[in-house]
Structure 1
């Protein structure tokens, strides 16, 4: 009986949390599908595109406050070009070639080179 009560509690708690989740938004733009995921507070969590069911084009990830954390690029599901990752006082630029890391460059806040 104790196991049953615990199981029921988990189910009730799980459904309560699931109700707070904001469903993703899907929009057709030409031959692309634009997808927007949201944080529970309503701010955008990530936004990007799919083409033929594969990640394609620019993807941006934000924290719950709305600050940009990652800007990434895909071509037919493969990582391409320059990716940017913001973390505290550092910006990392990762260059992808053939779906593999070709180079990494980091800047600290004190250099004042990159702007969000």
Structure 2
């Protein structure tokens, strides 16, 4: 009986974690490929999107969303390295983290007022 329960538990775990994430790739030009990732449990809702360069490294702007389609972060990469100002959105606040060559240079928190 114990082994049957263990087998059922193992099969449940394998099934629960086996959902594949839908990904679409679109060639923008000879140097960039746009990637769009969708939530695994809802293949119509975009989770994040951004670009890869010809060397398959993250490059340019990447945007992440929650399941309702709200932006949760905007990030920038230069040839696979974090670069520029990253914005994280949460509950009326925006955290701004500035990167230079993968290193944090500055961190700020701003309160967003919406009328």
Could you tell me the TM-score, scaled by structure 1's length?
A: 0.80
The whole-number CA distance in structure 1 between the counterparts of 2:21 and 2:47 is: 11
Match of 2:3 in 1: 3
Structure 1 segments unaligned to the other structure (5+ residues)? none
Structure 2 segments unaligned to the other structure (5+ residues)? none
> RMSD of the TM alignment (CA)?
2.1
Paired residues, number: 110
Q: Which has the higher helix share?
A: 1
Q: Which has the higher strand share?
A: 2
Alignment of 1:36-51 (within 5 A): 36-39=36-39, 40-41=41-42, 42-51=44-53
1:10 deviation in Å? 3.1
The whole-number CA distance in structure 2 between the counterparts of 1:95 and 1:10 is: 44
Deviation string 1:82-114 (CA, Å, 9 cap, x unpaired) is 11000111101111112111111111134x6xx
Does residue 109 (structure 1) correspond to residue 112 (structure 2)? The answer is: yes
Does residue 26 (structure 1) correspond to residue 25 (structure 2)? The answer is: yes
Does residue 79 (structure 1) correspond to residue 98 (structure 2)? The answer is: no
The whole-number CA distance in structure 1 between the counterparts of 2:78 and 2:95 is: 21
Could you tell me the TM-score, scaled by structure 2's length?
A: 0.81
The whole-number CA distance in structure 1 between the counterparts of 2:101 and 2:48 is: 24
Q: Partner of 1:47: helix, strand, or coil? A: strand
The whole-number CA distance in structure 2 between the counterparts of 1:8 and 1:29 is: 46
Q: Partner of 2:68: helix, strand, or coil? A: coil
Quick one: which of 54, 60, 65 aligns to 1:62?
65
